[in-house]
Amino acid sequence: MGANKNSIKIIGDQTDNYAQGYFVYDSKKSGSMTTSHLRFGPSPIRSTYLITRASFVACHNFSFLEKMNVLEAAMPGAVFLLNTPYSAAEVWDKLPKTTQEELLRKKIEFYVIDGYKVAREAGMGTRINTIMQTCFFAISGVLPRDEAIAQIKKAIYKTYGKRGEAVVAKNYAAVDAALAHLEKVELPAAASSGFDIVGVISSKAPKFVHDVLGEIAAGRGRPDSGERDPGRRRLSHGHGAVGEAQHSAVRPGVGSGFVHPVRQVCYGLPSCSDSRQSLQRRIGRQVPGNLQVGPSPSGAAWKRSVTRCRWLLKIAPVARFAWKHAR
């Protein structure tokens, strides 16, 4: 993620392009999947949604190909950069059938690099971020190659300089070696793989686990126009499994014209106009009599609620201390 942040800064500072970056990652970032959504172009960027049509897709972990369709958001004619231990001559037979079909159907330019091998030879262990960043600038042509490498090294010194000259020198060596290991894959005429994406949840799992939790775990939603449940809000997300509360009306201009909803795990969020009876039918159990489901509270009532919450937050540490020592 740090290298992608540097890429946005380089593009925004060294070119006439506007730039935008948004990063989606788990609450426990270490060891989990991170998805970087980067935009840049000659016009101001006012997009407030995740990218669903990408002209460049990079996958830094080869095992992701077996779990999800990483090329689902790729546009026709896009570029795909894959970090893989296999060479350009070997990698085609190692790809799932879905990935092969996406590459052929969309006529994607396919590049591979063994980033971990380059990192090991440079003494960087498994850190491949600057290696993949160098490949991105070399393939995309946003900046002339020599200028891009100079700017990457400048960003490396700014980011890692405080860790010592040895760390900076290793990153410099990795950048210089990256392009020598970058290969373009010539696509064959047809898909030939004997296996496909296996998914993250077994097909033998219960229907709810497979259809709902499985979709969440895979980082995607089930396409749905919202017509079957027009009054209910939904959690919608794109690549990277980040959500936003959105009404059933599809916002124009988002991706290919639909949102990817995932149902709330327990039940849909009721609108302010729902009656207590309709809410009871929706969640399938009795609603407490003191639960407010009518119109929104008045300004005075809202102010009293906020004041009460602030008071509770203030006394919480004192109450916790008293309870601890009372025991």
Q: What residues contact 26, with CB distance under 8 A and at least 6 apart?
A: 32, 33
> Got the DSSP string for 98-165?
HHHHHHHHTT-EEEEE-HHHHHHHTT-TT--HHHHHHHHHHHH-SS-HHHHHHHHHHHHHHHHGGG-H
d(CA 25, CA 42): 28
| HEC assignment per residue over 278-313 | HHHHHHCCCCCCCCCCCCCCCHHHHHHHHHHHHHHH
Helix axes 2-14, 129-140, angle to 10 degrees: 40
Going residue by residue through the chain, which has 327 residues, state the pLDDT in tens, using 9 for 90 and above: 677 887 888 888 888 888 888 888 777 666 677 888 888 888 898 888 888 889 999 999 998 898 888 998 899 999 999 999 999 999 999 999 999 999 999 999 999 999 999 999 999 888 898 899 899 988 888 888 888 888 889 888 988 888 899 999 999 999 999 989 999 999 999 999 999 988 778 888 888 888 888 887 776 654 543 333 333 323 333 333 333 333 333 333 333 333 333 322 333 333 444 444 554 454 444 545 444 444 445 556 656 666 766 666 666 666 666 656 655
> Got the DSSP string for 3-60?
HHHHHHHHHHHHSS-EEEEEEEE-SS-TTS-EEEEEEEESS-----S--SSEEEEEES
0.85 exceeded by the pTM? Answer: no
